[in-house]
Amino acid sequence: MAKLLDGVAVREQIKAELRSRIDRLRALRRAPGLAVVLAGEDPASAIYVRNKVKTCEELGIYSEKITPPETITTGALLEIVEGLNRREEIDGILVQMPLPRHVDSKRVLDAILPAKDVDGFHPVNVGNLSIGNPGPRACTPAGVIELLKRYEVPMAGQEAVVVGRSDIVGKPMAMMLLHQNATVTICHSKTRDLPGVCRRADILVAAIGRAAMIDESYIKPGAAVIDVGMNRVTDAGEVTRIWRGEARKLAQLEEKGSVLVGDVNPIAMAELASAYTPVPGGVGPLTIAMLMVNTVTLAEQHLGITASA
Ligand code: NDP
């Protein structure tokens, strides 16, 4: 029977652990502070930001939402970031992606002070991850590592295959698995014989963005499978194919107009894996939890207060 890696349960554990650190900071100096910049009106981004702000409120982290219009220029966004860099009570700055098309996203992200780069995307922090220096880590892959550790999935010496090489998931994921002493292979759209490479994996991480692409031909029986993907399927034929005609999923499609699925076929994963993350409820919940961890850790560093002191 495959073990379900429950991201909601781990998120709640992480939040419970953070409360005492936050209470301590508030008692000694002040609440940790997170600023979120949401430019424009992208509905998905608005939901992500709302959830981030809500989690801050729940935990007692000060949060500030800055919502410039879609028409904002790169220069004006740089000014906002520089203003936040200077503010003592702001420990973390998050610029929600994607930015409006005309904005130079790279310039904006690079303008965030590395010491306030709560997403871990700044080149200095990418370098810190690469050489194993402390620093904020990209939240989604950091959440995956946390999940694997808490469920005692062995990583050292294991064959890990990461499908996807994006700067926010695939590459940092591979680097973090390497730091856990896994033997890591990174795959992408040009990889030859992807199913064959994936079948070598004791730990298979899918971060692709293609609904249920990873089927039984990619999974070694007994592997731990981590599904980072979040895709919406709207076609009844596709839903039938993925869930092998499961009536519950077709009813969900009828009711909501779409069904959420990861990059891994959920039926194949449950049948073959020794441990796996469900979608929803696996990796997703951990991303915000790790954002909170990064915010609190940066606040402790800025205030010179260690977690255990
Ligand atoms: P990107 O689109 O930036 O990267 C996708 C990667 O997948 C690329 O490296 C691409 O290869 C590779 N890829 C695409 N098609 C194939 C294919 N047919 N075979 C092999 N490799 C392929 O996506 P992200 O990394 O940003 O996100 C990946 C998924 O994770 C998405 O579904 C996203 O929604 C989800 N996500 C979930 C989060 C969460 O909190 N749960 C957080 C962030 C993302 P190439 O480089 O060659 O083009």
Which domain range does residue 87 map to? 29-113
pLDDT at residue number 308:
61
- Domain match, 210 and 263 both: yes
Residue 131 lies in a domain: no
pLDDT at residue number 306:
82
Cβ–ligand 1 distance for 294 under 6 Å, the answer no
Which residues lie below 8 Å from residue 47, measured CB to CB, with a gap of 6+?
none
Query: How far is it, in rounded angstroms, from Cα 84 to Cα 78?
Result: 10
Cβ–ligand 1 distance for 277 under 6 Å, the answer no
pLDDT at residue number 307:
67
Is there a contact between 95 and 112 (Cβ–Cβ < 8 Å)? Answer: yes
280 prior amide bond cis, ω within 30:
yes
Ligand 1 geometric centre to CA of 164 (Å) = 5
- Work out how many domains the chain is built from and give that number: 2
The CATH number of the domain where 73 resides is what?
A: 3.40.50.10860
Query: How far is it, in rounded angstroms, from Cα 194 to Cα 176?
Result: 22
Shortest-distance Cα residue to atom 6 of ligand 1: 164
Query: How far is it, in rounded angstroms, from Cα 35 to Cα 274?
Result: 40
Ligand 1 pocket mutation pick from 162, 166, 205 by most atoms within 8 angstroms of CB: 166
Shortest-distance Cα residue to atom 18 of ligand 1: 189
Which residues lie below 8 Å from residue 9, measured CB to CB, with a gap of 6+?
none
Residue 58, both tokens: 């729940």
Ligand 1 geometric centre to CA of 263 (Å) = 9
Residue 203 lies in a domain: yes
Shortest-distance Cα residue to atom 31 of ligand 1: 209
Cβ–ligand 1 distance for 129 under 6 Å, the answer no
Cβ–ligand 1 distance for 265 under 6 Å, the answer no
Residue 124 lies in a domain: no
- Domain match, 166 and 253 both: yes
- Domain match, 274 and 145 both: yes
Give the atom of ligand 1 at the shortest distance from the alpha carbon of 169. Answer: 25
Residue 117, both tokens: 């780069």
Cβ–ligand 1 distance for 228 under 6 Å, the answer yes
pLDDT at residue number 248:
95
249 is catalytic: no
Shortest-distance Cα residue to atom 22 of ligand 1: 189
- Domain match, 260 and 191 both: yes
pLDDT at residue number 1:
76
10-residue averages of pLDDT along the chain (309 residues): 94 97 96 97 93 97 97 98 98 96 97 98 98 98 98 98 98 98 98 98 98 98 98 97 95 96 97 98 97 98 82
